[in-house]
Amino acid sequence: MTSRRDFFQGIYHNQAEQFDRLVAREDRQGNLFGALNEIRPLHGLRVVEFGAGTGRVTRLLSVMVDTVYAFDIEPSMIRRAASAMRASGMSNWRLSLGDNGKMPVASGCADLVLEGWSFAHVVGWYPNDWPARTDAMLAEMRRILKPGGVAILIETMGTGRRQPRAPSASLRKLYDYWQEEHGFAYRWIRTDYQFSSPEEADELIRFFFGDELADDCLKRENIIVPECTGIWWRRFA
């Protein structure tokens, strides 16, 4: 049987393009940029991004920040992100390989560090030692930040849901850990998917979220699939 880790790593290794088609359909409301900019005004910042994937957050940030240094552990995701960033015409970005737990970046260099939909894999991939791995990733964020810098974590609070709820007990534990043990504040936004057809919705939701969730949510939804997204943030002294 394919483990959760093999399943997602297989996608990131072999299907970066398909993944990018899915995430390109998310946030039809355009809520993410405004929410990030409210938490930490983005103009002129030096940003380090963890687990950047195919670069959807990198692209969003690049229009406002001074520089975004984005990293991912998977070369095919980085290649895809680099091609999208080149096509965007922006030049204030760098993309490289980097592990969320040990980033190839100098200490104290960033005003803002963030991750989107990457850190939470830890609970499915490492069910026995996710707290220690989480501590290491957050310590890495803190190391990279300048004094007074802000860390932001972005993760799902439910696909096919109009109101936020952690999709599993293990994610609830992780989010509580960020809030209660690491002092992160929390808010949520809607980042609904809008597909071009019911067939595309079926194809892309099924591809990433699996048959159970696809069957459940696509019997209610058509080309718009609601999504709730949690945003956690903390300023480090």
Residues that bind ligand SAM (CB under 6 A): 12, 23, 51-54, 56-57, 72-74, 77, 99-101, 116-118, 121
Which residue number is nearest to ligand SAM in terms of Cβ?
Answer: 53
Structure tokens belonging to residue 158: 């439910």
**Least distance from C-beta 106 to ligand SAM, angstroms?**
18
* Of residues 52 and 214, the one with the C-beta less far from ligand SAM: 52
Range 166-171 contact pairs with CB under 8 angstroms and sequence separation of 24 or more:
168/123, 170/123, 170/124, 170/127, 170/130, 171/120, 171/123
- Give whichever of 14 and 237 is closer to ligand SAM, judged by the CB atom: 14
- If the CB atoms of residues 98 and 226 are measured against ligand SAM, the closer one turns out to be 98
- Nearest approach, Cβ of 44 to ligand SAM (angstroms)? 22
Residue placing its CB nearer to ligand SAM in the complex, 21 or 161: 21
**Two tokens at 14?**
């072999």
Least separation in angstroms between residue 72's CB and ligand SAM is 5
Contacts 24+ apart (CB under 8 A), 177-184: 177/131, 177/134, 178/134, 178/138, 178/153, 178/232, 179/232, 182/138, 182/234, 183/234, 184/151, 184/153, 184/232, 184/233, 184/234
Taking the complex as a whole, the smallest distance from the CB of residue 171 to ligand SAM amounts, in Å, to 13
